[in-house]
Homo-oligomer: A and B are copies of this chain.
Amino acid sequence: MSEGACYHTAGMTVSLTVLPDNRELQVPAGATILKAAQAAGIDITATCGGRGRCTSCRVKFLRGTVPPATIMDELQLGADLVREGYRLSCQCRVTEPVAVQVAPPLDERAFQMLGADRSIRDVARVVIGAGIAKQVVKVPLPREEHHQTSDLEELLGVIGRTTDDIAPAILRELPLTLRDGGGEVTVTTFGRQVLAVEKGDTALMKFGLAVDVGTTSVVSTLIELESGEQLASVASLNPQAVFGGDLMSRIAFAQFNPVNLRKLQTRIIGLLNQHVEEIVRQSGVLAKWIYKVVVVGNTCMHHILLGIDPSYVGLAPYAPVMRHSLVLPARELFLKVNPEARVCLLPIVAGFVGADAVAVALATRIYESSEVRIAVDIGTNGEVLLGSKAHLWACSAPAGPALEGAQIRHGMRGALGAIDRVRIGDEVEIHTIGEVAPLGICGSGIIDLLAGMLDQGIIDHSGLIRLEDRDRLAPRLRERVVMRGEERQFILVRPGEAGATGEIVLTQEDIRQVQLAKGAIASGVAMLQHVAGIPSEQIAELMLAGGFGNYMSIESALRIGLVPTLPAGKIRYVGNAASLGAQLCLVSEAERQRADRIARGIEHVSLAAHPAFQDLFVDCMNFPRRA
């Protein structure tokens, strides 16, 4: 909004609606939202005093024209949030009726993917011991010229070490650090390695980052390393997706030209650095206080992150380039935490059973179970684990991105406005995340929808929309089953329903995508049972893991045959287990060592190579004939 526009409207009042209070105010046209709201007694925090120097007074425009972003908006909020309608309320003026939400979460996108409500101590008996030690010491400075010594020798003497494992980057600052603080410094170590020497006492500042790099989604979680407390987390789409939605297309892209591999690597590292920035903003923790990072991901993501050519991961026999766990300094990955922070990559099992599967095994404690359990990690490249403390089998379950809402006509991630619950009786009932107007449908909603469509006979067990039989449906359902052009569709939401501005449909092709996804998972489970010789009756528990596990209806999952037919009581959600496994290794070195042992113990079952697989997969694509 230009200054000119303000003068035109001076002297008039306009309507300003402020959420979540939902109060409608009449405010002087041209006033800033911050001042207008505060004048009416609405409490908007403005830490910097309304000078555009922080983000605390941010609002999100829900109705009315979003004013053009000021330079302060761009600087403080960044391009993404600005695009999503975020503004600093101290910077923008009211000239027409608008509605704004006060202090919306800075990363709304992380809303539901995460399991951000779980603390690592809640989900696992874990003894905290991250391996990061901080010592506050007073170092005597060299005083006499004849006394042969150096700054470093004096420092090592005081902390009782003789290590040479100190990077030149730390030595660069050492003389000033020692002298600035009068010799009082905090020394951070990880094993034999000196990670940082900081002026003064910073003993309380000890943080780590757990990162789960999925094919479609990337989740980063900040953890305080003494308590294991989760301080912030950010999730977003993997930006590599523009180069291919699934692993095979990304491998092909990487293979095409060596520059492409670099592009993929740069994308993911760039995203992780955005996550760090966002986490720093959310938590107030400085990036330099992040001394340990644990990364899990499938083999291909792992290789690309390291810049390793993944070509042969995509070709039989799908051999990874390396499988061992790796520790390297953050600077080598250009990760903008403490440059000397140790980035720990968990070990890999096979070309398509990666460090994420190892993390799931760790988090679900399946490796110590006396009975046989199954863990299913649902994702674009899911994995299935089956076994007990006696033996563990694993296979990949390449579901594709449909259950994450991608490659679905009106699919979306589990974010604000996504339909996450559907019930079909005589009419369709929907629920959206945040209970706002629906924008699209996410994985748990799709599964509910398909279960309801099966129950009502809208689709048959082969997945076909029964357009021809729609007359048997309740009248208000009947109108939703349509043929448009060559395409069968089910109209979930019409424009205007539940405040929707557009139509939301599920197409025949969407259903096929979901069938491919659930077929991959179900056949993976069945194959492991087959190879291990474990019938369903002997399965003590099936643990569902993945970004949306917490929001999925077990009944619906059973109804569509996503999981094998087990009593509902034997099926349990375990959250984003890959991320939790990374968090365990972040707070506990013992867990990280355990990950190595687990990885070596897992037996990889190759589905494609197995003669029985193809038939099984086709069977699993179909839906069960009855609930």
Contacts and interface: CB of A to CB of B under 8 A. Distances in A.
Interface of A: 141-153, 164, 168-169, 171-176, 179, 306-309, 311-312, 316-324, 326, 328, 332, 348-350, 603-604, 606, 608-609
Contacts of A332: 168
A309 B606 contact: no
A309 B149 contact: no
17 contacts: A142-B319, A145-B609, A146-B609, A147-B317, A148-B349, A149-B319, A150-B348, A151-B321, A152-B321, A153-B323, A164-B324, A168-B307, A168-B308, A172-B307, A174-B322, A175-B311, A176-B311
What are the 5 tightest A-B residue pairs by CB atom distance, in nearest-first order? A142-B319, A145-B317, A152-B322, A145-B606, A150-B320
A324 B603 CA distance: 47
A10 to B, nearest CB: 49
A150 B323 contact: yes
Contacts of A323: 148-150, 152-153
B322 A150 contact: yes
Given A142-B319, A148-B604, A151-B319, 6 more contacts: A145-B609, A150-B322, A152-B321, A168-B328, A172-B307, A175-B321
Contacts of A176: 309, 311
A100 to B, nearest CB: 44
Contacts of A171: 306, 308, 321-322
A174 B173 CA distance: 36
Contacts of A309: 172-176
Contacts of A172: 306-309
A326 B168 CA distance: 9
Contacts of A604: 146, 148
Contacts of A144: 317
Contacts of A608: 145
A583 to B, nearest CB: 24
Given A151-B321, A168-B332, A324-B152, A312 B175 contact: yes
Given A151-B312, A172-B306, A164 B318 contact: no
A604 B142 CA distance: 15
A197 B43 CA distance: 64
A348 B151 CA distance: 13
Nearest to A318: B145
A144 B606 CA distance: 10
A604 B321 CA distance: 51
Nearest to A600: B148
A604 B151 CA distance: 17
A141 B319 CA distance: 9
Nearest to A329: B332
A164 to B, nearest CB: 6
A559 to B, nearest CB: 34
Contacts of A606: 145-146
Contact of A142 (B142, B317, B324): B317
Nearest to A166: B322
A317 B143 CA distance: 6
A152 B349 CA distance: 13
Contacts of A152: 321-324
Contacts of A312: 151, 175, 179
Given A171-B308, A172-B308, A316 B150 contact: no
A393 to B, nearest CB: 12
Contacts of A142: 317, 319
A179 B349 CA distance: 22
Q: Counting chain B CB atoms within 10 Å of each CB, which of A146, A306, A321, A350 scores highest?
A: A321
A327 to B, nearest CB: 9
Nearest to A309: B175
Q: Counting chain B CB atoms within 10 Å of each CB, which of A146, A148, A317, A348 scores highest?
A: A148
A152 B348 CA distance: 12
A318 B143 CA distance: 9
Contacts of A143: 317
A150 B321 contact: yes
A562 B350 CA distance: 71
Contacts of A322: 150-153, 171, 174
B326 A150 contact: no
Q: Counting chain B CB atoms within 10 Å of each CB, which of A141, A175, A332 scores highest?
A: A175
A514 to B, nearest CB: 28
A146 B605 CA distance: 7
Nearest to A169: B307
A242 B179 CA distance: 30
Q: Counting chain B CB atoms within 10 Å of each CB, which of A144, A172, A323 scores highest?
A: A172
A174 B313 CA distance: 13
A177 to B, nearest CB: 10
A248 B141 CA distance: 21
A603 B174 CA distance: 25
A111 to B, nearest CB: 34
Nearest to A177: B309
A142 B320 CA distance: 9
A350 B175 contact: no
A143 to B, nearest CB: 6
A20 B608 CA distance: 74
Contacts of A141: 319
Nearest to A609: B145
Contacts of A147: 317
A306 B148 contact: no
A321 to B, nearest CB: 5
A145 B606 CA distance: 7
A312 B320 CA distance: 50
Given A164-B326, A308-B171, A322-B152, A145 B179 contact: no
A229 B147 CA distance: 40
A321 B164 CA distance: 13
